[in-house]
């Protein structure tokens, strides 16, 4: 038996079925960021104000580079998913689809740029 109101039945606007998955992904990403942000601040703070050579030498080590890489990627993915929820709640029509695609493209492009920058420093 479907638990839809008469209005939802007429409009065909039932549950999308992906809200729980999206919520758990956001929760896991949030927990990861709670761990990664202090680690990133600690590792970044030690080379803050250093010369370019010191920073390259520091991020050539695997642990600081990996922490920075994970923080950037997880942060941008979390941002993309959060903005998607905001757009779904407050924008309607074809503008919604365009904005979701645009913000996903910008978010993943920024994550890719961060990965490239860390890879250039580390290698």
pLDDT digits (tens, 9 = 90+) for 89-104: 999 999 999 999 999 9
Counting the structural domains of the chain, the total is: 1
pLDDT tens digits along 12-34: 555 666 778 889 999 999 999 99
Tell me whether residue 61 is in a domain: yes
Please state at what angle helix 19-47 crosses helix 52-59, rounded to 10 degrees.
130
Domain assignment of residue 25, given as a range = 20-122
CATH number at 99 reads 1.20.1300
Residue 13 inside a domain? The answer is no
Give the total residue count for the chain.
Answer: 123
CB 73 within 8 A of CB 108: no
Whether 3 is in a domain gets the answer no
Please report whether residue 56 resides in a domain.
Answer: yes
How far apart, in whole angstroms, are the C-alpha atoms of residue 27 and residue 21? Answer: 10
Q: With a threshold of 0.75, does the pTM exceed it?
A: yes
Is 6 inside any structural domain?
Answer: no
Residue 95, exposed/middle/buried by CB under 10 A (0-12, 13-18, 19+)? exposed
């Amino acid at each position: 038996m479907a638990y839809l109101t008469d209005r939802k039945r007429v409009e065909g606007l039932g549950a999308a079925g992906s809200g729980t998955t999206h919520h758990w992904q956001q929760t896991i990403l949030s927990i990861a960021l709670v761990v990664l942000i202090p680690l990133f601040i600690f590792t970044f703070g030690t080379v803050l104000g250093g010369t370019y050579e010191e920073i390259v030498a520091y991020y050539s080590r695997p642990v600081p580079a990996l922490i920075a890489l994970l923080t950037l990627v997880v942060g941008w993915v979390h941002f993309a998913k959060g903005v998607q929820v905001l757009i779904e709640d407050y924008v309607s029509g074809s503008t919604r689809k365009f904005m979701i695609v645009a913000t996903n493209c910008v978010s993943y492009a920024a994550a890719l740029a961060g990965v490239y920058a860390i890879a250039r420093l580390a290698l």
